[in-house]
Amino acid sequence: MTEEPMRGPGGGLEITGLSGCEFPCPLLTLVSIMLILASQAFSATTIVHAGRLIDGIGDTPRTTMTVLIEGGRISEVLTGYAELEMREGDRVIDLRDATVMPGLMDMHVHLQSEMSPRSYMEKFTLKDTDYAYRSVGYAERTLMSGFTTVRYLGDIYNLSVSLRDAINAGWVVGPRIFAAGRAIATTGGHADPTNGVTDWLAFEPGPGESVVNGPEEAWEAVRQHYKAGVDLIKITATGGVLSLAKSWQNPQFNQEELEAIVAAAKDYGFTVAVHAHGAEGMKRAVLAGVDSIEHGTYMTDEIMELMVERGTYYVPTIVAGVWVGEKAAEEGFFPEVVRPKAAAIGPQIHKTFARAYKAGVKIAFGTDSGVSPHGDNARDFLLMVEAGMPPMEAIQSATIEAARLLKIESELGSVEKEKIADLVAVPGNPLEDISVMMDLTFVMKEGVVYKEVKGKSGEKE
C-alpha cells in the first residue's frame, strides 16, 4: 500500500525537516510561487530584427530575419520579422537597416601593450600592475570594435590568464579570451625576455620563464603553462620582426623540440599556435603537427601544400605587417636594428596571404593587435579583400573558421539555435563595401548588449 502523505491543519502538506520541525503548506506554496516567478524572470526574451543576416555558415546572406535570445543563447532563428506577444522584461532590438553577423573573433592579439617608440623601455619602467590596468582599456576597445572572442597569444606576467578571469568574473569589460600566457622560446629566441638587456640586469631564463633548450625542457614548459591555467600554447619558431636581433627568419627550435611541445600540448588538451616568418622554422612546425601558423611571411608553395594536407590553419596578421612597414619610415619610431625588418614585412605578408588563399590553405582571422592599434582590428578585412579574398569568406574567417580553429564551433561562430548569443551589426552591406566593417554599431556578447548606436543600426527610439 502507498503511504498517505502527512497533512497539516486544513489538509495542507507537511514537510518534516531537521529535529522533526514541520512546515505547513502556505510556506511551501509561497516558495513554489517564488521559484516560478524567478524562472519567469530569467526567461525574458530579446528579439532582434535583422534586415540582413550573415549567419557565418551560409554563402549568401538571409534577409528579413528575427533572432530570439533567451538566457544568453539563441533560442530561435526565424524568417520574417516575427511579431510575438511581449512579456515584462522582453526587449525588441531593431536592426532592420543593418547587417547582423556572429560576434567577430580575432585569433592573434596582445592586450597588454600597443607599439610605440616607448615600448622597448617599458619593460624596465612599468610594473606588472601598470600593464594590468592598461590592458583593461585595450580589452574594452577590442570588444567595442565587434570582437567578442580573441586568442591572446603571448604576454608578460601571465597577464592574459588574469585578464581572462577578470572578464569572466564580470570585474571588467572585454572579449572572451583564450589565453596562451607567455610564448615559449629558445635561448636568444624571439620571446626570450632577456633579449637586448644589459649583462648586469640579464639572467639565464629557463622553462619557468618559457625559455627551453631540448625536448625535456619543452615538456617542462608546457607543464608549467598548464599549472598557470592557460588555454593553449604559443611558440616562436623563427626570429621576429620587432626583436632586437638581426635575423627574423632563422629557425629557433629543432625538430625534436617542436615534436616534444606538440606531444605535451596534446596530453594537456592544448592547441599550438606558432609565430613564424622564415620558411624552415615554419616547415618544421607544420611537420610537428601544430594547429596554426601565425604571420607566415615567407611561406613557400611546399609549406602551403603541407598545410592543406594536414589541415593547418594560417593566421595572416596582415594589418600588423602593413602597420609596422608604415612606421618604419618614421625616424626614431623603431630601433635601427628593427627598421629594415619592419620595412620589408608589409608588402611581403600581403603577397603571401594572396598566394595562400589561392592555394586553399585554411585561414582564420588574426591581426596581431598590440603591434597595430587596438580597436582597428577590422582593418584586416579590407586588406584581405584587397588581396583577393571575397568579403563573405573574409567574414567567415573571423566567425566560423576561427571557431573551428578554437574547436568551439558547437558554441560560437554562427547564428544558429542553441549557440551562445554573440551578435554584431554594421550599417549597410559589407559584401558590397567591406569598409563598413570598420563601423560596428551594435555589439552583443552572450546576450548582453555592450554597444548600440541609436538612429544608425541600434534600437529605434
Which pLDDT tens digit goes with each residue over 136-146? 999 999 999 99
**pTM for this structure?**
0.88
Phi, psi of 94 (to 5 degrees): -95, 105
Residue 431: the pLDDT is 98
Residues with Cβ within 8 Å of residue 18, at least 6 apart in sequence: none
Residue 268: the pLDDT is 97
User: Which residues, given as ranges, of the chain have pLDDT below 50?
Assistant: 1-29, 31-33, 35-41, 457-461
Amino acid at 136: V
pLDDT score for 201: 67
Q: Give the single-character DSSP code of 389.
A: -
Give the list of residues 6+ apart from residue 151 with CB closer than 8 angstroms, or none: 106, 107, 108, 109, 177, 178, 180, 232, 273, 366, 406
- Distance CA(67)–CA(101), nearest Å, equals 11
Percent of the chain topping pLDDT 90: 72
- List the one residue out of 193, 198, 196 whose CA is nearest residue 208: 193
Encoded amino acid at 308, one letter = V
Architecture of 104-406 per CATH?
Alpha-Beta Barrel (3.20)
In the chain, the amino acid numbered 123 is K
The class level of CATH for 45-101+424-452 reads mainly beta
Gap between the Cα atoms of 4 and 367, Å rounded? 69
**pLDDT recorded at residue 198:** 62
Tell me what pLDDT residue 365 has. Answer: 98
DSSP per residue, 210-237: TEE-SHHHHHHHHHHHHHHT-SSEEEE-
Report yes or no: 235 and 217 within 8 Å, Cβ to Cβ.
no
| Residue in 99, 107, 62 with CA at minimum distance from that of residue 398 | 107
